[in-house]
Structure 1
């Protein structure tokens, strides 16, 4: 598919999740979509503001330059630095807002940002999960939050199930949909990986 809007997907921080003796240590993958629109997907925890701001500044981007903040779902390790972007439209799961104004959108249909970027409903981990689909020069990149924890959960489904799923049935359906749709996947707690279409 040829598009006129060229976007680059930049992983600002790879997410992780590991069990300790008494708790889980985790942070989400934080992604910049850079092009005609500037979009941050999943803003990590509330303690990550300085490093997120610096990462953007290193790329000559100010927080006020961000057009959209998209959080794949509303868990605290994915929404913590939303406050850094007061000029952006915020999409958190199915909720769309700017300042004190909330916009209704029926996520039974896609939320179109432009011809190269859209937000789709992918419930499972939570019932209001969304994924961001980006057409790029390297193929279709799907930024999916905790629909996929990391690449290892392709072979070991206990990884994503242990992370929590409001509907395992929906999560399996939407995982399969993304695997068919995407060339690359940015998971919630790991590095971007290439989809093997031969499996």
Structure 2
């Protein structure tokens, strides 16, 4: 059993060297009338040697996304990589805004007009070229081919932009019912919690992972 607790962050901006992380749009999921619900995925900007956008929200958030990028001084043409954690419409709805970027959607990598093979299914992480440690890792469970971006070198340590691997902080009451494979997702969650100091979930604000001293020592022995 892992020994950790979580704590909400007071800011959606995490400074650091070489990477800074900005949660541009905070995802949500809420019930409405007659069994319907509304949802949109978090959108996260990582600035450093590369300009990386993780998830693009739904098409209904197009204007909000563009305005958020503009406030950061970023244009769609500036984005070098788009990483979509999985293929649901509330995470990939604005891919067409970034035709110049290398694009990852789940286990597919598209670069300069061609698809590039990579063994995500075999557990192989993908290092973004020139990204100084930016790493995409497979995190299946919510769907069969989820991915997450690991961002080292921030003031809070390693940030994991996790998509719907984590719906929100304290999501134990909901994530299983939204999962295609809860057993696999449980394993993916445990593995990410070993390395992440901050998690940006798919439908809530970012939160910090605070491990016990014993857990930290155990993880260090595994590195």
Q: Given the two structures, how large is their TM-score scaled by the length of structure 2?
A: 0.82
Q: In the alignment, does 2:106 pair up with 1:87?
A: no
Supply the distance in 1 between the matched residues of 2:107 and 2:55 (Cα, whole angstroms).
14
Q: 1:186 aligns with which of 200, 209, 214?
A: 200
- Residue segments in structure 1 that go unaligned for 5+ positions in a row: none
The higher-RCO structure (CA 8 Å, 6+ apart) is 2
The alpha-carbon deviation at position 158 of structure 1 amounts to 2.8
Which residues in structure 2 correspond to 1:59-98 (within 5 Å)? 59-98=72-111
Supply the distance in 1 between the matched residues of 2:48 and 2:112 (Cα, whole angstroms).
24
Preserved contact between residue 86 and residue 99 of structure 1 (Cα < 8 Å): no
Count of residue pairs the alignment pairs up:
192
RMSD of aligned Cα (Å): 1.6
Supply the distance in 1 between the matched residues of 2:67 and 2:167 (Cα, whole angstroms).
26
Q: In the alignment, does 2:139 pair up with 1:122?
A: yes
The alpha-carbon deviation at position 55 of structure 1 amounts to 1.1
Preserved contact between residue 139 and residue 185 of structure 2 (Cα < 8 Å): yes
* Aligned-partner SS, 2:60: coil
Which residues in structure 2 correspond to 1:30-41 (within 5 Å)? 30-41=43-54
Q: Given the two structures, how large is their TM-score scaled by the length of structure 1?
A: 0.92
Supply the distance in 1 between the matched residues of 2:64 and 2:94 (Cα, whole angstroms).
10
The alpha-carbon deviation at position 77 of structure 1 amounts to 0.2
- Residue segments in structure 2 that go unaligned for 5+ positions in a row: 1-15, 216-223
Q: 1:19 aligns with which of 15, 31, 34?
A: 31
Supply the distance in 2 between the matched residues of 1:152 and 1:19 (Cα, whole angstroms).
18
Q: Which residue in the other structure is 1:140 paired with?
A: 158
Please tell me whether Structure 1 or Structure 2 has the larger radius of gyration of its CA atoms.
Answer: 2
Preserved contact between residue 24 and residue 45 of structure 2 (Cα < 8 Å): yes
